[in-house]
Structure 1
Amino acid sequence: MTGDPEAARRVPEEVAGIPCDTEGPVFREPWEAQAFAMTLALHERGLFTWPEWAAALGAEIKRAQAAGDPDTGETYYRHWLNALEKLVSEKGIASAEAMARYHDAWNHAANRTPHGRPIELQAADFK
């Protein structure tokens, strides 16, 4: 997942509220694990510090709670992904427009892909 095999185990200590079991972080869906892995990889590449990440995630959770999120834990990785997308945009890695374009393309590709098959982006998905 990352260059530092202990990084995933340290995250729950450094970022409060992350869903965990005795082995470390737990994920309900594959995309949650992917968002987690992307965050670790971007941190390892120096995009942001852990305090910066924790502040971004905390701000996203507070925003969601103020908007009525029931804070049951089921939406935790949605907040995680929103915080990651904001940091990526703020750091100039990808614009919000580019991320929205890929989001829409991914939805298009997912809709045309039979259940159980891998989703693959094609040029037509970006139209």
Structure 2
Amino acid sequence: MPDLGYGPLRRRDDEPIFAEPWHAQAMAIADLLIGSGTISQSKWTETLCEEVRLASLAGSADDTGRYYTAVLSALERILNAGGNVSCSELACRRDEWRRAYLHTPHGQPVELDCGRFTKASD
């Protein structure tokens, strides 16, 4: 298949290449939110483009990492603006996952157990 300008997001066998499982999960969440009508396609496109532009202005490398970080930022911005999830809720959940990850033995699945880890346990 010829390179159609996808840059690091080139397609092989008509399927996107995801470097990490969370890349596919983030795109699936965006697709679900658009498909359910929670967010509009135009709002998604506008917000994602702005996040990619901001990452570019900040000097981030033009790679899949930057793109999917922009995807996450766009999802967070849209959900916060729509009142679905606040920035403080996102930060709290991110911190809970970080603590759970740090306290999970190597090779074991990371599970979020709300209330198990407190800020004092870091």
TM-score bin, normalised by smaller chain = 0.7 to 0.9
Residue-pair matches, total: 112
Identity of aligned residues (%): 35
User: What stretches of structure 1 of length at least 5 have no aligned partner?
Assistant: 1-15
| Aligned equivalent of 1:30 | 21
CA root-mean-square deviation:
1.8
| Aligned equivalent of 1:125 | 117
Which whole-Å CA distance do the structure 2 matches of 1:18 and 1:59 have between them?
18
Decide whether the 8 Å contact of 2:55 with 2:66 is kept in 1: no
CA-to-aligned-CA distance 1:93-116 (integer Å, 9 cap, x gap): 100000000000001001111223
User: What stretches of structure 2 of length at least 5 have no aligned partner?
Assistant: 1-5
Which whole-Å CA distance do the structure 1 matches of 2:48 and 2:7 have between them?
10
In the TM superposition, residue 74 of structure 1 has moved relative to its aligned partner by: 3.2
In the TM superposition, residue 33 of structure 1 has moved relative to its aligned partner by: 1.4
Q: Secondary structure at the match of 2:109?
A: coil
Which whole-Å CA distance do the structure 2 matches of 1:75 and 1:84 have between them?
14
1:31 maps to amino acid? W
Decide whether the 8 Å contact of 1:105 with 1:125 is kept in 2: yes
Decide whether the 8 Å contact of 2:52 with 2:66 is kept in 1: no
TM-score under structure 2 normalisation? 0.81
Decide whether the 8 Å contact of 1:102 with 1:126 is kept in 2: no
Which whole-Å CA distance do the structure 2 matches of 1:116 and 1:30 have between them?
17
Go from structure 1 to structure 2 and tell me whether the alpha carbon gap of 1:28 and 1:37 turns closer, same or farther (over 3 Å shift): same
Which whole-Å CA distance do the structure 2 matches of 1:126 and 1:92 have between them?
26
Decide whether the 8 Å contact of 1:101 with 1:126 is kept in 2: no
In the TM superposition, residue 18 of structure 1 has moved relative to its aligned partner by: 7.6
In the TM superposition, residue 125 of structure 1 has moved relative to its aligned partner by: 2.9
| Aligned equivalent of 2:99 | 108
TM-score under structure 1 normalisation? 0.79
